[in-house]
Amino acid sequence: MDYGDLEVEESKVEDILTLGHDVLKVDLRRNSMKYVRDKIVPERQIELYVNGKTYAVFLCLGSKIKELIVGHLLTEGLIDGIHEIESVNVAENKIYVHLAKELNLSLEKPRIILTMCSGRTGKVLPHVWMKRSVKESHSIKVDPRVIIEAIKKLNSKAYVFKETGATHSSALFNERGELLAFSEDIGRHNTIDKVVGEAAFKGVNFKKTLLVSTGRLTSEMVVKAANVGIPIIVSISAPTDRGIKIAELAGLTLIGFARGKRFNVYTHPERILNVFT
């Protein structure tokens, strides 16, 4: 496989925050108004072509682009593994992916992957849906304390958010709470794609992992986890009704409002160890 010159090293994340803007800060508590130079997250547009055909346009943070693209192909069910990718090449803000198999990508116009759940345009691809069930992944059992510590690690690594307040973050952990992959982005869907892509390159067995995120647990977020076989998804935010229904159908453990020392388990609680008996 040839991935080209696409990877952005983790050490360069801070360099992304080079844009500044003069902001008038109004503080009624201190009865003050003053101009300060504030750090701003730059938004990057990436066009994705698959097997020579226009597939999607991403609006994203300009880090871990390789992981974003590969993870997206996996979580959308376009590929079953990175072995199906023959090459990834970049020309400025255009990325060309060649797969070993042909896909039905008959779109009237590119899908636009925005920073909110209602942002997709164009036809919904017939194969972009839940490909598998994770009901067979009952073997993973997680201590509640592992989940609490995972949330703490997620928040502690969110450097761009601390500097700007403009990003979401996601991370992948094993059942012992060891960090396997982490990412920040302006889009919550993008953060999942990035950690899945990073973990795929590392050869991680997704059936033995839990995904932790800051984003709302909508149906699309749940489908992404299910499509790669992740059995547990956790968020500091709330789930939607469709997110809960799909998680139940898929056999996925859905956890929301993971804050402080508490969380709510909405589906398949059998994967959470009872440490109080």
Catalytic residue set? 117
Distance between CA atoms of residues 244 and 260, nearest Å:
22
Burial class (CB in 10 A: 0-12, 13-18, 19+), 203: exposed
CA distances from 86 to 127, 227, 246 (A): 21, 21, 32
Q: In 3-state terms, what secondary structure has residue 247?
A: helix
Query: Which residue's entry shows tokens 């889009």?
Result: 187
Rg over alpha carbons for the chain, rounded to the nearest Å, is 19
The CB-based long-range contact list for 272-275 (8 Å cut-off, 24+ gap) reads 272/141, 272/142, 272/144, 272/147, 273/141, 273/142, 273/143, 273/144, 275/143, 275/144, 275/145
